[in-house]
Each structure stands twice: as structure tokens, then as C-alpha cells.
Amino acid sequence: MVRYRIRASFRSAASIGAILIVAGLFAVPVRSSPGEAAGRIDAGNLYANERAWPHRTRLAIDWMPPGADGSLRSGTRAVVVRVDGDGTARLDFGRLGRYQVPVGATDLVSRANEIAAGNRSKHQPNFLDVVAARTWKVSPDAPPRPNARLASKRWFVSVFGDSEAESFGSIARAITQAQVPLDVEVIVFAQGAPSDRQVYERLAALEWWVSFSIAHVTPAITRTLFGPETGFPLVAVFSPEGRLALRIDDPAAQGEALTRSLDAFFRASAKAGHEVESEGPTP
């Protein structure tokens, strides 16, 4: 089992959002984590304590998904995709669906307190656990990228869109022109791609040497991370725990504005002192 330690804090609660708003960019900054809350974790500060988010949770009550014919019963298990700043968590119930569920309808808080107290373990950060880093490649013939290498990354710039579309090239150019730090991983989740080789050849034609998701698992990963109402293309920046820190809709239409959005985000992150530490497997 892999043990790891993550320390994440934003000393300025709205630093990233403020910079992007002042810059007048067409990005949607998702509320930055205001830092680790003192004392016991509760529903109000769970979002701020992302390192304590568990990998799994259960419903604590019967809960009716929007538009569903029946309730999910108390005790139903789910994978924790992320906690959002609106008091909900995105949960994957497998064949039962994927939903935004109120934190209070789950046992997330009790499990988070167990992790914070050292009574429950986590083998890796949530984003890697959910997205499965072993599904990321750099060429069709290369082995998947190892989790240990990716666990030390600070942010994951995730690009969702049709890699064959003409607009995809403008997204690639804009991200290439951004000052992306070395401890940030860029990943392409090509929508509708029939094969890894097609994705790789498209990236090679653009001279964009970044990781990409294996074609046959990309649809499932996309459905896990975003609801059916989500439009593509989009660029999302996730923390190692899966916190959605920045979302940029319709990035192809933005051109240089996309570059400026990412640059502003990374400057704000560095200024706020966001730190990530990881340890490899213990003997």
C-alpha cells in the first residue's frame, strides 16, 4: 500500500478568483480552497480540507436523484470524485449513475475526520484514484504513465474536446504559449477518438507532446468528472485531490485569453503558496 502526505493551503481565499476577475478573462474560476480549517472537519469546511477527502463514501439517508424514478437507499456506496464549494459532492454510483449529492446526505464528513485523525488510510490522491493515472499515455506504444510520477504534480490541466476538430489546434497553441510550470501535467481527453494512435498522431501533427487518456476509457472518465449537461470543448484545472480549481468553457473561441487565464491562475497559485508533497510506497 502506498502512503502519501499532502499539504495544501491557500493563504488568500480568493486570490486566484480575484486575479482572473480583475483581468477580465473569460474563465470560470471555481472558489479556491481557503486553506485547511482548524479543529474538526464538518460539512462547512470539508471543501477546504481536500487532503482528507475519502476515496469512497456511503449515503447516510435515502436520497432521490434529480429526475429519477426512485431513491437510492441509505448505505449505497459511491466513489468520491470531488467535493465542490457549493456543499455538494460529485459521486459515482457505478451503474446507478453519477450525481451531485449534498454532503449532508453522505458519511463523507465522518470518513474525512477518520482520515485526518490517522484512523483511515488513503493510498493516493483522489484525482489519480478516480481518473486512474495508469490510463494516461504519451504514445500509443508506450506503457501507461506510473502513478508515482504523477502523484507529485501540483495541478492537472485537463483538455476535453474533439481532437480532430479544427478548433482543437487553437486550444493546443494557447496552452503551449502559457507559462505552464514543470510540476503541472497537461492531459488530453479526446472526445470521440477511435484509437490511441489517432490521438497521438493528431498531437504529433500539432507538435504538442502531452499525455492523453486511452481512447476506450475516455468516455467513462468524462462522464465521471462532468454531468451530461456539460458542453465541450472545455479546459479544467484539477488539484491532485480532484478539486476543480478552474474551468474554462469554450476555450477554442478565446485564443490569447485562454493563455492569459492559465498564466494568471498559475501566478496566483504560486503567490498563494500552494504546496504538494508526496511519498512513495513504504516498505
104 and 136: one domain?
Answer: no
Q: Can you give the C-alpha Rg of the chain in angstroms?
A: 18
- Condensed to tens digits (0 to 9), the pLDDT of residues 20-49 reads 333 333 454 444 344 454 579 999 999 999
Q: What are the pLDDT digits (tens) for 136-188?
A: 778 888 777 666 677 788 999 999 999 999 999 999 999 999 999 999 999 99
* pLDDT recorded at residue 19: 31
Query: Is residue 281 one of the residues assigned to a domain?
Result: no
Terminal alpha carbon distance of the chain: 9
* pTM to 2 decimal places: 0.82
Residues 145 and 228 in one domain: yes
Cα–Cα distance between 225 and 263 in angstroms, integer? 24
As a whole number, mean pLDDT of residues 260-266 equals 96
Cis-peptide, bond into residue 233, ω within 30° of zero: yes
A 10 A CB-CB count for 256 gives: 12
Q: Are residues 268 and 133 part of one domain?
A: yes
Does 176 share its domain with 75? no
* 85 shares its domain with 135: no
- Distance from the Cα of residue 238 to its chain's centroid: 3
Does 147 lie in the same domain as 91?
A: no
Q: How far is CA 148 from CA 73, 129, 192, 227, 237, in A?
A: 37, 12, 29, 29, 20
**What CATH code is carried by the domain that includes residue 245?**
3.40.30.10
Domain with 134, as residue range(s), is 15-33+125-272
Give pLDDT tens digits for 107-121: 999 999 999 999 999
Number of domains, the chain: 2
- Partners of residue 161 on adjacent β-strands: 190
Residue 26 lies in a domain: yes
- Residues 181-198 have pLDDT tens digits of 999 999 999 999 889 999
